[in-house]
Amino acid sequence: MEKILVIDDETAILSSLKYLLEDYYKVYTTEDYQKGIELIAKENIDIILLDLRLGNVNGLDVLEKILDKKPEALIIMMTAYSSIKTSLKAIEIGAFYYLSKPIENEELLFLLNKASEKLEFKRKIASLEGYIKKDIIGKSKKIKSVLSLINQIKDFNSNVLITGESGTGKELVAQKIHYSSLRKDQPFNAINCAVIPANLFESELFGYKKGSFSGAYKDEIGIIRKADKGTLFLDEIGEMDINLQSKLLRFIQEREVRPIGSDNTYKVDVRIICATNKNLEEEIKQGAFRKDLFYRINVINIHLPPLRERKEDIKYLTLHFIQKYNICFNKNITTISDEALKSLEEHYFDGNIRELENIIERSILLSTSDVIQQDSLKLEPKSNIHKNFNNENISDYSTNCININANETLKEIEKKAIKLNLEYNNNNRKRTAESLGISERSLRYKIKEYSLN
């Protein structure tokens, strides 16, 4: 039952509100705001009804005192002296809402219901934030090796490159390094190199001075300086424009930032962690990635295995996602059936952990019992490509699926591979990009280049 505190200097108001609310809430009342503040802390009260005038005391001052002690409290101001000016002032300070006396019971109950919903939402967010920073899930030998390496390097400032297929949890590993390190109380700033246009990326990274280009209406320090003393995570580093790579290299070497349009440089202390699902050594050969930058960011390499190579972890990941989405959807799923778990363990998982999470989220929504059954998984059938593709029969895969000719160029083979994957995935570009291990942006470019529209 939600707890509510009423602070008012009129005993009749206190009595009537207690009578109205006690069937729905645990109600505390007081005429003394100082006792009220003590009750808030002692009883962990989140919703407060506060009179604007408490004798000679201004309720706005009390509002500030309460929020100073408990910033997350939801406070509804009450007054017989309503005005737009005081209403706006109360909201500006941090009140949840404002009611005029005499109070309409239905209006008050409606507001309290909304306050309770907001508190429940905040609690869910807090729970989910705990999952974000939760330990990496798994007990397989490969994951234990990853965790051991993280523990070895977490407190050093050496640059880290995390590699692995899309959906294997590269950002989670970056977060694990940061929140386990001596920098854990400092910023963790992440930026996805694939989603920001090249012409905007430099200003996002390094900042800019007001008036340095069209749209620069104020000074902006940039994401690198915002991460000072903490960690900068550059996701999908393989998608970074080749011209910008030289500027990033210069920053890594000098640890200085010069905003666009500025003559000043700024020293920045950040640990750099990068991630990619590309083979950067192949990108170097094709002239798409700088060799010197690769050596700078690849001081420590952490490779994440695909989920199909750590099948023993599927059970633990599944139970983890069940807990997560129970919170999200107010469900009470207890476990997964043996039959359903076996189906998951036999599934190929193009999308790795991200795909597994999506399957469990959908299953929880579709489940009509407290156990996830096989029919709620809605797994797509495995393709012949996945059945045939392993280390022992790559030649069979090449011959039967792509029909590679020894005289063909790499581009011709690449075109065939993209076309085949598009056909298999029914032209679903997101799924095709994940199965090819490239970004959707790169896939769009390749489709246009090879006229596969």
Query: pLDDT grade, residue 76 (50/70/90)?
Result: very high
Strands (E), 69-154: 74-79, 97-100
Averaged pLDDT, 111-122: 86
Q: Identify any residues that bridge with 191 across adjacent strands, giving them in sequence order.
A: 234
Q: Looking at the predicted structure, is the pLDDT value of residue 394 above 80?
A: no
Helix (H) or strand (E) holding 384: helix 384-388
Q: Which residues contact 293 (CB under 8 A, 6 or more apart)?
A: 245, 246, 248, 249, 252
User: pLDDT-based confidence at 150, cuts 50/70/90?
Assistant: very high
Domain ranges of the chain: 3-131, 152-303, 308-376, 384-449
The counts of H helices and E strands in the chain are 20, 16
| Secondary structure of residue 6 in the 3-state scheme | strand
Band of pLDDT at residue 128, cut at 50, 70 and 90? low
Class of domain 384-449: mainly alpha
Measured distance CA(97)–CA(63) in Å, rounded: 12
Topology match between the domains 308-376 and 384-449: no
pLDDT tens string 199-244 = 788 999 999 999 888 878 888 999 999 999 999 999 999 999 999 9
Q: Given 3.40.50.2300, 3.40.190.10, 3.10.105.10, 3.40.50.300, which CATH number is that of 3-131?
A: 3.40.50.2300
Which is more confident, 80 or 160?
160
Q: Which pLDDT tens digit goes with each residue over 318-330?
A: 999 998 888 878 8
Residue of 199 and 148 predicted with greater confidence: 148
What tokens does 193 get?
A: 């190199």
Please state the rounded mean pLDDT for residues 278-285.
Answer: 93
The pLDDT-based confidence of 196 (bands split at 50, 70, 90) is: confident
For tokens 């029914």, name the residue.
426
CATH label, 308-376, candidates 3.40.50.300, 3.90.1150.10, 1.10.8.60, 3.40.30.10: 1.10.8.60
Helix segments in 170-313, DSSP class H: 170-180, 198-206, 222-226, 242-254, 280-285, 291-297
Q: What would the pLDDT profile of 403-426 be if each residue is shown by its tens digit?
A: 555 556 667 777 888 888 887 777
pLDDT over 90 (residue 163): yes
pLDDT at 350: 87
Q: Residue 41 pLDDT more than 90? A: no
The CATH superfamily holding the domain 152-303 is: P-loop containing nucleotide triphosphate hydrolases (3.40.50.300)
Four-point Cα dihedral 335, 337, 340, 346, nearest 10: 90
Q: CA 134 to CA 175: how far, in whole Å?
A: 9
Question: Tens of pLDDT along 170-189?
Answer: 999 999 999 999 999 899 99
Q: Calculate what percentage of the chain has a pLDDT beyond 70.
A: 90
pLDDT for residue 387: 43
pLDDT of 399: 33
Q: What mean pLDDT value characterizes the chain?
A: 86
